[in-house]
Amino acid sequence: LQVVTLLNDLYLAFDGVVDNFKVYKVETIGDAYMVVSGLPDRRDDHASQIAQMSIALLHKVKTFVIRHRPNDQLKLRIGMHSGSMVAGVVGSKMPRYCLFGDTVNTSSRMKSNGLPLRIDVSMQTKEILSADPGFRLDLRGEVELKARGKHTTYWLKGYKETDIPDFGPEFRH
């Protein structure tokens, strides 16, 4: 019951953040929360919307209180990747809007290989974000992504005057 309460509280908090951006929550599976921008309508600023939303989610996590463990800090990992994909409604009894393709799989691997309370950005997304000088990114280096090989990735550090929050020395890498 505590896990259900925690996830419900967390998803309600995240939904409140997500509503402020031009993004679409595709699904939540367990502790994974998948968001996309640029679908169903194409957007030139899709990467910017996801990046700014990601920073806002880390700020929400910093102040989020776990009811049954109020002194514990959630350790959200965020992975970002950009590319083409296929999207559509699947099923008739319980129709779901689903995403398919390598971009979806790579995004998942980016999240899995990220570090707690950091935003890990692929080279493809970094190139898009670099068009806006407001984004601050640092080279993370090469990481091995399961079934994808080595990829150069970056840490998103902030946007304009908004930095990702400081969670203390144990989370500085």
The pLDDT, as a whole number, for residue 49 is 94
Q: Report the run of H or E that residue 143 belongs to, with start and end.
A: strand 135-145
Q: How many domains does the chain have?
A: 1
How does pLDDT run across 32-58, given as a tens digit for each residue?
778 889 887 888 899 999 999 999 999
Distances (CA, A) of 119 to 16, 88, 110, 148: 19, 27, 9, 19
Render pLDDT for 82-100 as a digit per residue (tens, 0 to 9). Answer: 998 888 899 999 988 888 8
Q: What is the mean predicted confidence (pLDDT) over 115-124? A: 92
Percentage with pLDDT > 70 across the chain: 94
Give residue 171's pLDDT: 56
Helix axes of 46-63 and 2-18: crossing angle, nearest 10 degrees: 140
- The parent domain of residue 141 ranges over 2-171
Give the pLDDT band (50/70/90) at residue 167: low
3-class DSSP state of 81: coil
Q: Which CATH number fits the domain that encloses residue 99? A: 3.30.70.1230
Angstrom distance (rounded) from CA 53 to CA 84: 20
